[in-house]
Every structure is written in C-alpha cells, then in structure tokens.
Chain A
Amino acid sequence: KNQVEQSPQSLIILEGKNCTLQCNYTVSPFSNLRWYKQDTGRGPVSLTIMTFSENTKSNGRYTATLDADTKQSSLHITASQLSDSASYICVVADRGSTLGRLYFGRGTQLTVWP
C-alpha cells in the first residue's frame, strides 16, 4: 500500500533555532517528492519539488533532502521565524499514471515561539 508517513506529528521550537522534519514513503513507482507549507485556514503552498535524481534542494531558509534508496526525505528549516509556524506536508507523486497520482502525509505541525 502506498503511504507517506511524517514525523514528528508536532514540534515546538524557539525563534531562531533550526529544526528538521522527516518523511518516509513507500510510494512506487516514484516520480517526485514535494514539500508544502500550509498556514492555518489556508491552502498549501509549494516549497520544493525533487525528482529521483535530485538529493537536495533549497528555497531560502528551507532545505529539502531526498534519499530515493531508503525512501526518506527531510525538510530542514534554518533560523526559524514566527511566520514559519504552520503545517508542513510531504507529498509523493507516482509515475504510474498520466495524472501523477499524489500521496499526502498528514503533516508536521510546527510552532515557533518567541
């Protein structure tokens, strides 16, 4: 069964600190992995997309890594800010269909305290 598991479920850190969120998946055949940020009451916003051949991608203070062999990804947030408080969702696409079926994790709820 294709699944995407994220950990931790929730995380609280102090402003200015770094943190790393984890994503494990069993989706096959793999096409790409995406990280989204979802603010409370809003739609998700794309942070990064990585294909099989990419093992790291950055977007400002966000750096995503991908190990397609172990089927693991991480999202590292550097020098956290209060505005980073949100749910971070890992999404994996398969390549078994034209649509590119997406499998969503439940997200990690990050809270940044001042």
Chain B
Amino acid sequence: EADIYQTPRYLVIGTGKKITLECSQTMGHDKMYWYQQDPGMELHLIHYSYGVNSTEKGDLSSESTVSRIRTEHFPLTLESARPSHTSQYLCASSELHQKTDTQYFGPGTRLTVL
C-alpha cells in the first residue's frame, strides 16, 4: 500500500465555490503529479512538480492551480468550480532520478459540481 493520501475522497459542491483538493505523501518523493480521469477514459496529466517551488502544467489544459511549498504536500485549487470540473482527480508521486520510476497513486477525489 502506497503512503500517499488524498482528501476529501468525495466532494459535492455548488457552482462558483472555491475548493482545494489535498494530496500528501510520506515517501520523500520529489516528483508529484495531478491527473484527471473521467469514467472509462484514460488519465490526463494536468499538473506536475519536480520538487519544492516547482510546478508545471501538464498536457490537459486545466483551470486549476497547484503549489509545492513542502516536499510532502501538493494541493490543487479551483478558484471557481463549474459543472465541467466534475471528474475524478488522482494524485501521484515518484522518485526524481529514475526514468523507470514507479508512480504511486493516491485513492483519488471524486468531485461533483452541481
């Protein structure tokens, strides 16, 4: 079982609300990632980080933002949620120096915006 945690597991909110999805890992990994996954579809990378104070946008355009102030913590924020943001959000982490690094995934946050 990977030591990577996400909260909340499920979130139902109204349009226009600001939300923050939490992700933390205790493995000391430098790389961290956020993916978005819709039912029956592939994972899409929306943000990643190489380490503290490093954040990059992924392949899928997202209105969310991320921060990396501490190695173990990589929160994702939506300033104004919309129904189009309804999806599952998966956080992952891996070691920095190996290209065959295994990505360890958290359990995910299922977000529903009404």
- A contacts, CB < 8 Å to B: 4, 31-32, 34, 41-46, 49, 51, 89, 93, 95, 99-100, 102, 104-107, 109
* A95 surroundings in chain B (CB, below 8 A): 99
Residue of A nearest to B90 (CB): A43
Cα distance, A29 to B42, chains bound together (Å): 21
Secondary structure class of chain A's binding surface, majority of residues: strand
Cα distance, A105 to B43, chains bound together (Å): 8
User: Contact residue range for chain B?
Assistant: 20 to 34
Given contacts A43-B105, A104-B44, 17 further A-B pairs with CB under 8 A are: A31-B100, A32-B99, A41-B107, A42-B107, A43-B2, A43-B4, A43-B91, A43-B107, A46-B103, A46-B104, A49-B102, A89-B42, A99-B31, A100-B99, A106-B41, A107-B42, A109-B40
Check A106/B100 contact, CB under 8 A, given A43-B92, A43-B106, A43-B107: no
Secondary structure class of chain B's binding surface, majority of residues: loop
CB atoms of B42 and A104 under 8 A apart? yes
CB distance from A11 to the nearest CB of B (A): 14
CB distance from B55 to the nearest CB of A (A): 13
Tell me, yes or no, whether B66 is within 8 Å of chain A by CB.
no
CB distance from A42 to the nearest CB of B (A): 5
* A45 surroundings in chain B (CB, below 8 A): 2, 105
CB distance from B22 to the nearest CB of A (A): 14
Tell me, yes or no, whether B48 is within 8 Å of chain A by CB.
yes
CB distance from A114 to the nearest CB of B (A): 25
CB atoms of B45 and A102 under 8 A apart? yes
Check A99/B110 contact, CB under 8 A, given A32-B100, A43-B105, A51-B100: no
Cα distance, A109 to B41, chains bound together (Å): 11
Cα distance, A100 to B94, chains bound together (Å): 11
Residue of B nearest to A90 (CB): B42
Give the residue among B31, B40, B42, B102 with the most A Cβ atoms within 10 A: B42
Tell me, yes or no, whether B101 is within 8 Å of chain A by CB.
yes
